[in-house]
A and B are shown apart, each in its own frame.
Chain A
């Protein structure tokens, strides 16, 4: 288990919203641009890493009880998307890392994937 603050440091990330929630603990991560897969596999207390920028990223995170959203490859969503996340107390981070690099850094910190198979391999 790590805090969002530790995750943000590892990703050299900018906190776009949710600065006060950086103490939130996370144990899993899900990296995908397919929200369908996130809905099917992500567990609560997971960090969602994505390059998709639309409002459905926040809605998916909301219904799935995702702990935080990380936008990779230095992508920034529209203000409306950021405000929706802020309104739902979902912290948003921006990192310049690619998806692969970002996932690797968080894995090295101890985060794991969300599926039962990932859990078996722990």
Chain B
């Protein structure tokens, strides 16, 4: 089963809506609560990144009985230095975003922490795709 959710540009009020819809779906499918929690946190972090850095994009969840893959794609500026972006506390978020409770530089490291497999595909000027895999067993 594939589910697609659109992340609108600068729609901070709606940020997280995709993660919460996905969480509700996974709960209905009967996944273990801790797995649902990991997926929801990873997806939410991705959604926020997509919104504040990527200028919006799409969240695609591929759901099978054993593995759930969440892809978060944007067509934003790309990440020039992935190693730096993976460091806890390193962020390029604006003061405005920080005042809203985000941009602490924890997003990407936390997405890696909660997922079983983690990959970033990025190209400066073209965009970024983060792919997280979650084992359900």
Contact = CB atoms under 8 A, between A and B. Distances in A.
A binds B: yes
Interface of A: 33-37, 39-40, 44, 52, 54-57, 59-60, 62-65
Nearest to A36: B104
Nearest to A50: B101
B16 interface: yes
Most chain A beta-carbon contacts within 10 A, residue among B12, B23, B40, B113? B40
Given A36-B106, A39-B110, A56 B40 contact: no
Nearest to A35: B101
Nearest to A62: B20
Contacts of B12: 54, 56
Contact of A59 (B44, B105, B107, B110): B44
Interface residues of B, number: 26
Interface in B3-42: 12-13, 15-16, 19-20, 23, 33, 37, 40-41
Contacts, number: 69
Given A34-B104, A56-B12, 18 more contacts: A34-B98, A36-B45, A36-B102, A36-B105, A36-B107, A36-B110, A37-B104, A39-B45, A39-B110, A40-B113, A44-B33, A52-B101, A54-B100, A54-B101, A59-B15, A62-B20, A63-B23, A63-B40
B59 to A, nearest CB: 13
A33 B99 CA distance: 9
B106 A56 contact: no
B20 A59 contact: yes
